[in-house]
Amino acid sequence: MSDQSEEFVDVERPEDDSYTLDRHTIAAILQSVDTADRNRLVELMEPLHAADIADLLEQINSYDRDRLIHLYGKEFDGEILSELAESIREEVITALNPEVLADAVRELDSDDVVDLVEYLEDEQQETILDALEDSDRVAVEQALSYPEESAARLMQREVVATPEFWNVGQAIDYMRERADLPEQFYHVILVDPRFKPVGHVMLGKLMASPRRMLLSEITEPGFRTFNATVDEGDVAYAFNQYHLISAPVVDDNDRLVGVITIDDAMIVLDEEHDEDILRLAGVSEESSLTDRVIETTKRRFPWLAVNLVTAILASLVIAQFEATIAQFVALAVLMPIVASMGGNAGTQSLTVAVRSIATKDLTGANVWRVIRRESLVGLVNGVIFAVVMAVVGTLWFGSPMLGAVIAAAMVINLVIAGLAGTGNPVVLERIGVDPALASGAFVTTVTDIVGFFAFLGLAGVMLF
């Protein structure tokens, strides 16, 4: 590599930016695109990981992205397509030369091809499927015949399976003779005569054992299989819970049809967490930084409309106390504090509850203990902040009674926040509604209404 390219690619970066693309590299790549210098572009892109190239394509605008793809040409790797965000994947596939696309797709394992095509339009699906060998196409089409977000959509069809009665030497010789070994696998799966998996052997243990040792004598404990129709979220949870590296997938007759590896399971787990975070904020899980303004607006509008309705409900509560507020203007100054503290406390409890439900830590066995704990936390915090606000109310407005009112309202609202933040997602989960999707607006509404009603109601009783 030339000195000039080293200036761009190998510059020293701050530790916290060690996994981000260097701005000088991006600038150099775009400059090579502007000057149509393909050799320079390939030279700069060669050291980059497929995930970094995908990040680059996501960060630049559509015009530069299209020019870069055409100039990069046949160097475009199939792994880049796997790493791309779904929001721009169709655009990139459309921009690729058909021959380049065909070569790129052939490099991928079947599970990566399924992930690539499952959400594409029919025409683009057909384009990619046509690029595959007949056997690979059949494997992908069979996986696509299973329900969306199932284990079968996650698995790769390429497996290494041997008879359960083989020894280590036979397994090693078999793998050496195979020309189509998967690029990445961790276990040799043992199957019975009906092709049902009965155990698996780690490659490390296989290589460390004598050739005459039977494979059945060195199988790993904790062997698990997954039915092809099991939800991928449950698969990811099991991988994380039981520290699995790979696991066979079976059909309804318990015959081996594929294998799921830890990298794919962890991607699902990460997506599940991202989805919960986005839903808690009222943002679609399909949202990304590459979305257009119209798309983003459409996705966020329904949630904002729901929030508008809940805000109107809270305003109706305030309207019931117009006379009280008119006589004591200080109430208008202090009441947002009560509602805000309740909303924040409710969000804290809600976040803990939704995460615990997602990780299956919050169950029927401990739900009441957790609700009591969150309520007590709200009570303790409420008392502490009640003392603070009692002092503030007294010193600020010279009214000890006003301080007592806001103190009492603070305690009530923080206790209710703990109850609503934990209880609401539990109830939603029990009735089959995603807690992350519907809890936020409900908890905010409850804390606003209770906070305003408690504060203004107590003021009406105690101050007049």
pLDDT at 6 over 60: no
pLDDT value of residue 287: 52
What is d(CA 266, CA 262) in angstroms, rounded to the nearest whole number?
6
pLDDT band of 2, cuts 50, 70, 90: very low
Q: CATH number of the domain at 293-462, please?
A: 1.10.357.20
Average pLDDT, the chain: 84
Terminal Cα distance for the chain, rounded: 83
pLDDT band of 9, cuts 50, 70, 90: very low
| b/e map 14-41, b = 16+ CB within 10 Å | eeeeeeebbeebbebbbebbeeeeeebb
Which CATH superfamily includes the segment(s) 161-263?
CBS-domain (3.10.580.10)
pLDDT value of residue 291: 61
pLDDT tens digits, one per residue of 197-255: 999 999 999 999 999 999 999 999 889 999 999 999 899 989 988 999 999 999 999 99
Q: CATH number of the domain at 3-154, please?
A: 1.25.60.10
Spans of all domains in the chain: 3-154, 161-263, 293-462
**What does each C-alpha distance from 74 to 70, 98, 340 come to in angstroms?**
9, 10, 56
Higher-pLDDT residue of 292 and 403 is 403
pLDDT at 405 over 50: yes
Average pLDDT over residues 25-49: 92
| pTM of structure | 0.65
Sequence-distant (≥ 6) Cβ neighbours of residue 384 within 8 angstroms: none
pLDDT tens digits, one per residue of 138-197: 888 888 888 888 999 889 888 999 999 999 999 999 999 988 888 889 999 999 999 999
189 bridge partner residues: 161, 200
pLDDT at 12 over 70: no
pLDDT value of residue 315: 86
Provide the token pair at 173: 């010789």
pLDDT value of residue 11: 40
pLDDT value of residue 160: 94
